[in-house]
Amino acid sequence: MHARVDTNTPFHIDLDWWSQHGRSLRRFLAEILDEADADVAPQDPLDYLDPQTAEVTQIDPLWVQVLATHAHKPDYITGTTPLTNAVLRALIENVNRPMSAVDLHRRINRTSPPTILRLLRTARTEYGIMPVNEGV
């Protein structure tokens, strides 16, 4: 990770990281859902219409289910959700649009932006979360 990250640096989930490391974001999404819902979800990407921006993006059907049925419920991210998991859930809820430590702090409503930034510096090894412009 480059040395110039700060609490305003935008981070996102590097979706390629998951497959490159033999991990499955679908499995993580399925854990958020009821197993019955996850088992019947198709694997082909679906068009998702962002209700805030009206932007259409193609995302995994499980991701669409999480957004439609879980992401806006009060228990989606709670005070007892592990912090790294809460960060990943916030990025999922935000349809992987980049978020800074400040943005994540506002959404998660725990700890402080500097603490979240320290967590983000290590989140790559667990969830492939990295600065947006890394490697550019």
Contact 113, 121 (CB under 8 A): no
Positive or negative CA dihedral for 85, 88, 93, 98?
Answer: positive
Provide the pLDDT for residue 44: 87
CA 119 to chain centre: 14
- Parallel, antiparallel or unpaired: strands 56-59 and 46-49: antiparallel
Environment class of 8 (CB within 10 Å of its CB; exposed 0-12, middle 13-18, buried 19+): exposed
- Mind listing the pLDDT tens digit for each residue in 51-85? 778 889 899 999 988 998 899 999 999 999 999 99
Distance between CA 68 and CA 47 in Å, rounded?
13
**Element (H or E) spanning 20, and its range?**
helix 15-20
pLDDT for position 89: 96
- pTM of this structure: 0.88
In contact, 84 and 119? CB cutoff 8 Å: yes
Question: In the chain, which residues have pLDDT < 50?
Answer: 1-2, 136
